[in-house]
């Protein structure tokens, strides 16, 4: 068996058992050689991935760098002058498919699916930025094929490794607040509905505009607002053709905690509401209600997702807003768990049990969740045959799909529908059903 076969086979070693192509079983075996990793997308979060993964110089080699913008990628090129450089990930795969073990994908949302699914079908391990992909069908395809190919995966929900997240999960699973029947999750602010372009310019020589557009079905010109690009390098996030708004941007981080603590997977009902719909731009606010069924002994749960300045749960449960309560201000909350014996108000790094008077003498449960060795190191270790990373696609794919399903319900016209997750059918809601699958421009069908 050669090194590539061993690396690919090692990805199934979830329980310390490795199934090799030869059919021989071995325990705890993992490759000793460095992983050869290609980085696709090098600006913003791409730089974050590169900084954290490439730092493990004893474990990986940076063999390829891919970006459409020479300026955004410039420092990475300077840092790794011996790495092969590409503008188009398709060319990267054509040339180096047999030479790489793993890829990271940190491109705009609309260009996640194509490099990720090609990597998976080639047997490569994948680290992808959230929200995994741009549409429900893309996410489901990625999730299923990653399971089938047994590759090591990780979605970029790096706050999963924060110690507070694990402590809140332990509290909820220990029954500290009883049975949780409602969860309120939110991202604050009102980002969205950016200004429409007022001109058409020429993309700079450093930017390969056609490759940046990728599979986008709309033939956008390089539009501008004054002397700035309308879409690059960041505002694409608030245009439906490229991004998924604040819900796509934040829901995978924030819903990670209820998904983890309550063993959630797919909702059975979705209801969307919010401001007037714009066909091109994401909204400044949004409200989605998800109904989740019972899971074993756990009761059904209603999860309320909001993109809002002030979540409704503060008034409903008479909770002082963080600006008026120093302790809660320190929490910087984005989740409220409502149980039959109390509530937990939590952010990524701190939490508080409510009502405070009921928990004055509360003794915390014993720590059961081990600390992460590092979110990116989890993935590297999984690639080398150790246990799966904590946000592998089988866990994080349904979470990402749920977030984008809410977006789809909103954009389709503030819809409410029953969701048959197994068959991917929005019952009696053709508007949502027709939007489940993406449209790709000619030449990008996959």
- What does the pLDDT look like over 84-117, one tens digit per residue? 999 999 999 999 999 999 999 999 999 999 999 9
Task: Collapse the DSSP code of 208 into the 3-class scheme (helix H, G, I; strand E, B; otherwise coil) and give the result.
Answer: coil
pLDDT tens for 384-426 read: 999 999 999 999 999 999 999 999 999 999 999 999 999 999 9
Phi-psi region of 150 (alpha: psi -120 to 50; beta: other; left: phi over 0): left
**Measured between alpha carbons, how far is 20 from 7 in angstroms, rounded to an integer?**
10
Q: Please determine, for residue 324, whether its predicted confidence score (pLDDT) is greater than 90.
A: no
Could you give the CA distance from residue 181 to residue 191 in angstroms, rounded to a whole number?
30
Given a cut of 60, is residue 232 above it in pLDDT? yes
Mean pLDDT for the chain? 92
pLDDT score of 258 more than 90 = yes
> Helix, strand, or coil here: 154?
strand
Within 10 angstroms of residue 337's Cβ, the number of other Cβ atoms is 28
- Give CATH 3.30.360 domain extents, the chain: 161-191+245-370+401-433
Record the pTM: 0.92
Examine the pLDDT at 25 and tell me if it is beyond 50. Answer: no
Residues in contact with 376: Cβ distance below 8 Å, sequence separation at least 6, in sequence order: 49, 52, 53, 56, 127, 154, 158
Secondary structure class of 81 (helix, strand, coil): coil
Q: List, in sequence order, the alpha helices (H) in 267-337.
A: 313-316, 326-331
Report how far residue 372's alpha carbon sits from residue 100's, in angstroms, rounded to the nearest whole number: 26
196-202 CB contacts, 8 Å cutoff, 24+ apart: 196/230, 196/280, 196/281, 197/223, 197/224, 197/225, 197/230, 198/224, 198/225, 198/226, 199/223, 199/224, 199/225, 199/226, 200/224, 201/229
Superfamily designation of domain 3-159+375-395 = NAD(P)-binding Rossmann-like Domain (3.40.50.720)
Rounded (10°) angle between helices 113-121 and 89-96: 10
Tokens at 142, concatenated: 């990625």
Quick one: pLDDT at residue 399? 98
Q: What is d(CA 22, CA 12) in angstroms, rounded to the nearest whole number?
A: 14
Q: Where in the chain is the domain with CATH 3.40.50.720?
A: 3-159+375-395
Chain centre distance of CA 369: 22
Q: Does domain 161-191+245-370+401-433 have CATH number 3.30.360?
A: yes
């Amino acid at each position: 068996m050669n090194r590539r076969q061993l690396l690919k086979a090692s990805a199934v070693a979830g329980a310390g058992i490795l199934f090799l192509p030869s059919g021989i079983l071995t325990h705890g075996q993992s490759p000793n050689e460095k992983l050869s990793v290609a980085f696709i997308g090098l600006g913003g979060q791409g730089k974050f991935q590169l900084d954290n993964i490439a730092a493990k110089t004893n474990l990986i080699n940076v063999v390829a760098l891919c970006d459409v913008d020479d300026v955004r990628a410039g420092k990475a090129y300077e840092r790794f002058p011996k790495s092969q450089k590409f503008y188009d990930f398709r060319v990267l795969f054509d040339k180096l498919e047999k030479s790489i073990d793993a890829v990271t994908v940190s491109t705009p949302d609309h260009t996640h699916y194509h490099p990720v699914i090609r990597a998976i079908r080639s047997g490569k391990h994948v680290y992808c930025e959230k929200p995994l992909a741009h549409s429900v069908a893309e996410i489901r395809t990625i999730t299923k094929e990653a399971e089938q190919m047994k590759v090591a995966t990780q979605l970029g929900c790096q706050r999963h490794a924060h110690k507070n997240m694990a402590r809140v999960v332990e509290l909820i699973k220990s029954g500290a607040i009883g049975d949780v029947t409602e969860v309120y999750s939110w991202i604050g602010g009102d980002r969205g509905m950016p200004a429409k372009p007022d001109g058409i310019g020429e993309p700079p020589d450093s930017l390969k505009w056609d490759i940046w557009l990728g599979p986008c079905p709309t033939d956008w010109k390089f539009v501008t607002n004054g002397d700035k690009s309308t879409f690059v390098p960041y505002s694409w996030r608030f245009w439906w053709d490229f991004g998924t708004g604040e819900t796509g941007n934040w829901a995978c981080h924030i819903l990670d905690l209820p998904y983890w603590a309550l063993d959630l997977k797919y909702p059975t009902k979705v209801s969307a509401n919010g401001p007037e719909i714009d066909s091109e731009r994401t909204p400044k606010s949004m409200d989605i209600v998800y109904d989740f069924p019972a899971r074993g002994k756990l009761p059904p749960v209603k999860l309320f997702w909001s993109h809002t300045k002030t979540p409704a749960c503060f008034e409903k449960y008479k909770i002082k807003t963080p600006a008026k309560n120093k302790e809660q201000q320190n929490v910087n909350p984005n989740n409220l768990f409502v149980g039959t014996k109390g509530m937990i108000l939590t952010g990524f790094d701190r939490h508080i049990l409510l009502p405070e008077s009921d928990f004055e003498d509360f003794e915390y449960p014993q720590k059961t969740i081990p600390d992460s060795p590092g979110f990116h190191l989890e993935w590297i270790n999984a690639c080398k045959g150790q246990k799966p990373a904590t946000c592998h696609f089988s866990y994080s794919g349904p979470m990402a799909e749920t977030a984008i399903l809410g977006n789809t319900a909103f954009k389709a016209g503030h819809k409410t529908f029953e969701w048959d997750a197994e068959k991917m059918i929005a019952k009696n809601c053709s508007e949502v059903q027709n939007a489940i699958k993406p449209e790709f421009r000619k030449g990008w069908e996959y």
